[in-house]
Structure 1
Amino acid sequence: MKTIDEMLHLALLSPDEHQQISTWIAQAESPDEILKMPPLLWRAVERASAVMGIDEDLMRPPALDGGDMVCS
C-alpha cells in the first residue's frame, strides 16, 4: 500500500484510482485475488510503475558490497 500511496502523492494516480486500487488490495485474500484487479486499474498501476522505474529497480542485481551498511 505504501507504493500506491506514493503514486498518489506523485500525482501518478488520481484520487479515485488510488481509492479503487487500495480497496481492491485491502479486500483481496491472496496475491492471486490482487491479480484479478480490473484491467483499467492495472493499466493505471503499470503507468505509474513505469514512471517510478519500479521494474528497473526489481531487475537490478543486488549490491553485494554492503555499501555503508553497519552490522552489529
Structure 2
Amino acid sequence: MKTIDEMLHLELLTADQHHQISAWIAQADTPDEILKMPSALWQAVERASAVMGIDEDLLRPPAMDAGDLVCG
C-alpha cells in the first residue's frame, strides 16, 4: 500500500484510482485475487510504476559494495 500511496502523492494516480486500487487490495485474500483487479486500474498502476522506475529497480542486480552488510 505504501507504493500506491506514493503514486498518489506524486500525482501519478487520481484520488479515485487510489481509492479503487486500495479497496481492491484490501478485499483481496490472496495475491491471485489482486491479479484479478480490473484492467483500467492495472493500467493506471503500470503507468505509474513506469514513471517511478519500479521495474528497473526490481531488475537491478544487488549492490555488492553494500558496506558492512552481513549476509547469512
Same fold (TM over 0.5): yes
Structure 2: 5+ residue stretches without partners: none
Q: 1:5 corresponds to which residue?
A: 5
AA in 1 matched with 2:46? E
AA in 1 matched with 2:3? T
Give 1:70 shift.
6.2
- What is the CA–CA distance in structure 2 between the aligned matches of 1:57 and 1:15, rounded to whole Å? 25
Q: 1:53 corresponds to which residue?
A: 53
**1:40 equivalenced with 2:52 (yes/no):** no
Q: How many residues align?
A: 70
Give the TM-score normalised by structure 2.
0.92
Identity of aligned residues (%): 76
CA root-mean-square deviation: 1.2
- After TM superposition, which residue ranges in structure 1, 4 or more long, deviate above 6 angstroms? none
AA in 2 matched with 1:4? I
